[in-house]
Copies of this chain bind each other. A is one copy, B any other.
Amino acid sequence: MKRWLHAASAASLVFFCSAAGADEGMWPFHGFPFDKVNTALKTHLDQAWLDRARLATVRLANCTGSFVSGQGLILTNHHCVEGCLAELSSKDKSYNDDGYLARTGAEEKRCQTQVADVLTQMEDITAKVNAATAGKADAALANEARKAALTQLEQACESGSQLKCQSVTLYEGGQYWLYKYKRYTDLRMVFAPEIAIGSFGGDPDNFQFPRWNLDMGVLRAYENDSPAKTPNYLKFNFAGPAAGQAVFVSGHPGSTDRQLTVAQLLGERNVDLPQWLLRYSELRGRYIQFAQVSAENERMVADQLNGIENSIKVRRKQLDALHDDALIARKTAEQQALEKAIAKDAKLKAATGNPWKDIEAAMEKEAALFQPYTFLENGAGFQGRLASFSRALVRGTAEREKPNTERFREYTDAALPRIEQQLGAAVPVYPEMEILRLGWGLERMREWLGPDHPVVRRLLAKESPEELARRLVTGSKLADPATRMALWKGGKAAVDASTDPMIQLWRSVDGDARAVRKSYEDSVEAPVRNATERIARARFAILGTSVYPDATFTLRLNWGTVQGWNENGTPVEPFTRLGRTFERATGADPFRIPDSWLKVKDKLDMNTPFNLSTNNDIVGGNSGSPLINDKGEIVGLMFDGNIHSISGSYWFDTVKNRSVAVHTAIIREALTKVYGADALMSELAR
């Protein structure tokens, strides 16, 4: 954001000065500001350093990871593999509770729905996309033309290539890129500690620091049933970094809303966040109570509950951030400063129009569409795995009949392999949980859309939400991957002929869902995109690309230093140490130290650094990212931020926003002294 300071008027200085000194920014690898960084940190990063970091970083389905050996070994977080551990577990064996260590290749079991993408090439397609929409005054038509162009460019890219091609929208439509990935679809579990230490402190300690978490998990990428050859990997530095040392995070921040307009932020504050929090707080309660019925129920629900609790904490603090009127005032001032700068240039002013007003108008339309869109089309009403399968089958087979560029973007040819992987995966489906989730979704749909909404009225004419959910779940065969794949391969005809009650459910609502989606896309998404593109172009005209784009779960690099912060007058040190973990343990979850550690307590070096904090600018999606020193070595494993980091959705607070990593020293201590993972350790240390 530094260049903004030079370009903008003095009046705006006051609103940007807090960002001026920041090691801020989630930079795409095609726009990394080497000079600025090397000057600020006295480092010597070059293109080769950057390329290696990029090729060693992988994007997982929900996280980041990095290659840490030449044989496909991937380091990520425990919470990134928790879902896979749950899928591999059974009534008699919980890998989340007990941990996982494959001592041989044969013991490395596959995570059926996991993927790992390595970003190999990046192509700027902004001009091509703009050409497709040029002259289309109607925002809805332009929106459709843009999507068709993106699909076509992806299709052309993948044709005759082994690479996965995905278009990326940066700067809210200011730039379009084609990112090309090498994709690994065979990922196997190598190591995970017990969740008791992997997530020591559980939800209470989440987004807190000081912290003591061995939040690590190790996967291995396979190709043709053999470990993948991955020459671009990061070496471990088990000494870790010193306080004040320059460190870099390569990873995939999921999403930020730093460039949203004030109207959009108020929409999040007034509508999206409160509704989501109400719904998921209730689900949290249902899950907790469900888990109390039996140990088996507890196991079934554990990883989903952890995920929900994490999301609740994030959104709760996001809402706090948006309730801080100083934030809204800052955003308003920024917006006004940009408007003012645009107004000075008559041509720019004419080209830009008043996008903020246009967005406000679209937000008013969204108010009426938000609930039906959320419940009918966006998944809130039809919860659970079976409902997802049903939707993918009904929608996917219908969309497949259309030409590629006319489909919904999530069913283009480029997207189908991933859908097939998910439909075909032999993941467990627990009927009681399915009934809980589907019944909950239907009940809340009735609450928010009202009992007289036509879809609600039709579905719940004679049954309660729970009764309907029970009938559909117990009557459906979609839990069986073979059944799903038969329908998928049979196409629209097979799906149309199916008497599976879950398929019937989605067939009966698909039309309504498509209709509300169409309204939403035409009257909200299209004008907003049109307006944000104009804002982005105006911003480029004034600032160039010296500002970074909002996070989009695509690869970014940022920099910072190892440091703590000052919490209400009390300095927080950037390192924690092993000894305090034992002092803090209570014996009861989530403050229980596993037996494996208690048994070897006497052999452990209590002074071992455990977690550390840095001022790198990361958000959710960066989980599992490597923390890299200027030599390109791994010195930590990102897994969290402090509580102030959650406001990072809207701005970067240089004073208090800190990221949190697992120290490499505790990884060595654990692998060698606790887990006796000698083969893994020697592969890492190679």
Which A residues have a C-beta under 8 Å from some C-beta of B? 201, 203-205, 208, 266, 269-270, 274, 277-279, 281-290, 292-293, 312, 316, 319-320, 323-325, 436, 440, 446-447, 450-451, 460-464, 466-467, 586-589, 591
The copy count of this chain in the complex is 2
In the assembled complex, how far is the CB of residue A506 from the closest CB belonging to chain B, in whole angstroms?
Answer: 22
Choose one: B274, B285, B319, B450; the contact of A204 (CB below 8 Å): B450
Query: Which residues of chain B have C-beta atoms less than 8 A from A464's C-beta?
Result: 588-589
B467 A588 Cβ-Cβ under 8 A: yes
Query: Which residues of chain B have C-beta atoms less than 8 A from A591's C-beta?
Result: 451
Q: Which residue of B lies closest to A463 (CB)?
A: B588
B281 A289 Cβ-Cβ under 8 A: no
Query: Which residues of chain B have C-beta atoms less than 8 A from A293's C-beta?
Result: 293
Q: How far is the CA of A436 from the CA of B288 in the complex (A)?
A: 10
A201 B451 Cβ-Cβ under 8 A: yes
A462 B588 Cβ-Cβ under 8 A: yes
A289 B436 Cβ-Cβ under 8 A: yes
Main secondary structure of the interface of A (DSSP, over half): helix
Q: How far is the CA of A527 from the CA of B454 in the complex (A)?
A: 53
In the assembled complex, how far is the CB of residue A492 from the closest CB belonging to chain B, in whole angstroms?
Answer: 32
In the assembled complex, how far is the CB of residue A498 from the closest CB belonging to chain B, in whole angstroms?
Answer: 26
Extra inter-chain contacts (20) besides given A282-B285, A460-B586, CB under 8 Å? A204-B451, A205-B451, A269-B323, A270-B323, A270-B324, A274-B320, A277-B281, A278-B281, A282-B284, A285-B286, A285-B288, A285-B440, A289-B290, A292-B466, A460-B588, A462-B586, A462-B588, A463-B588, A464-B588, A464-B589
Q: How far is the CA of A182 from the CA of B167 in the complex (A)?
A: 76
Q: How far is the CA of A591 from the CA of B456 in the complex (A)?
A: 13
In the assembled complex, how far is the CB of residue A261 from the closest CB belonging to chain B, in whole angstroms?
Answer: 15
In the assembled complex, how far is the CB of residue A375 from the closest CB belonging to chain B, in whole angstroms?
Answer: 14
Query: Which residues of chain B have C-beta atoms less than 8 A from A316's C-beta?
Result: 274, 278
Q: How far is the CA of A615 from the CA of B436 in the complex (A)?
A: 41
In the assembled complex, how far is the CB of residue A147 from the closest CB belonging to chain B, in whole angstroms?
Answer: 32
Query: Which residues of chain B have C-beta atoms less than 8 A from A288's C-beta?
Result: 282, 285-286
Query: Which residues of chain B have C-beta atoms less than 8 A from A284's C-beta?
Result: 282, 285
B281 A204 Cβ-Cβ under 8 A: no
A281 B274 Cβ-Cβ under 8 A: no
For A269, A292, A312, the residue with the greatest tally of chain B CB atoms inside 10 Å of its CB is A292
Query: Which residues of chain B have C-beta atoms less than 8 A from A312's C-beta?
Result: 278
Q: How far is the CA of A316 from the CA of B444 in the complex (A)?
A: 14
Q: How far is the CA of A325 from the CA of B262 in the complex (A)?
A: 13
Q: Which residue of B lies closest to A202 (CB)?
A: B451
Q: How far is the CA of A288 from the CA of B447 in the complex (A)?
A: 15
Query: Which residues of chain B have C-beta atoms less than 8 A from A451's C-beta?
Result: 201, 204-205, 591
Task: Give 13 A-B contacts (CB < 8 Å), ordered by A residue.
Answer: A203-B447, A204-B450, A205-B451, A266-B325, A274-B277, A274-B320, A278-B316, A282-B285, A285-B285, A285-B289, A292-B466, A460-B586, A462-B588
Q: How far is the CA of A274 from the CA of B275 in the complex (A)?
A: 11
Query: Which residues of chain B have C-beta atoms less than 8 A from A201's C-beta?
Result: 451
A587 B462 Cβ-Cβ under 8 A: yes
Q: How far is the CA of A122 from the CA of B208 in the complex (A)?
A: 54
Q: Which residue of B lies closest to A292 (CB)?
A: B466
In the assembled complex, how far is the CB of residue A169 from the closest CB belonging to chain B, in whole angstroms?
Answer: 29
Q: How far is the CA of A164 from the CA of B323 in the complex (A)?
A: 44
